[in-house]
C-alpha cells in the first residue's frame, strides 16, 4: 500500500513537470508568432503585443490549473 502512494507522488511530479514544459513551449510559440507579426506590420505593434500578453496569460492559467490538479491528485 505504501508503494501506491509513492507511485502517485511520482506521477503527480511528472504531470506538474509536463504542464510547466508545455506552458514554456506554448509561450515560446506565442512570442515567436507575435515577433513575426510585428516584423511584418510594425504599425500594429500595440494591438499584437496586447493580444500576445492575453494569450500568454491564458496559457499560464491552464498550466497553473494542471499543476494544482497534479498536487491535489497526489494526496
CATH number at residue 55: 1.20.20.10
pLDDT, average across residues 24-41: 95
Which class for 74: exposed (0-12), middle (13-18), buried (19 or more C-beta within 10 A)? middle
Looking at the predicted structure, is the pLDDT value of residue 13 above 90?
no
DSSP single-letter state for residue 43: G
Within 8 A by CB and 6+ apart from 19, the residues are 63, 66, 67, 70
Report pLDDT for 75. 66
Domain that holds residue 14: 2-74
Q: How many domains does the chain have?
A: 1
Amino acid at each position: 500500500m505504501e508503494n501506491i502512494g509513492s507511485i502517485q507522488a511520482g506521477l503527480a511530479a511528472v504531470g506538474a513537470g509536463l504542464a510547466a514544459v508545455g506552458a514554456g513551449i506554448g509561450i515560446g510559440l506565442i512570442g515567436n508568432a507575435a515577433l513575426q507579426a510585428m516584423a511584418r506590420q510594425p504599425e500594429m505593434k500595440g494591438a499584437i503585443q496586447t493580444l500576445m500578453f492575453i494569450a500568454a496569460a491564458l496559457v499560464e492559467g491552464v498550466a497553473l490549473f494542471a499543476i494544482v490538479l497534479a498536487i491535489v491528485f497526489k494526496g
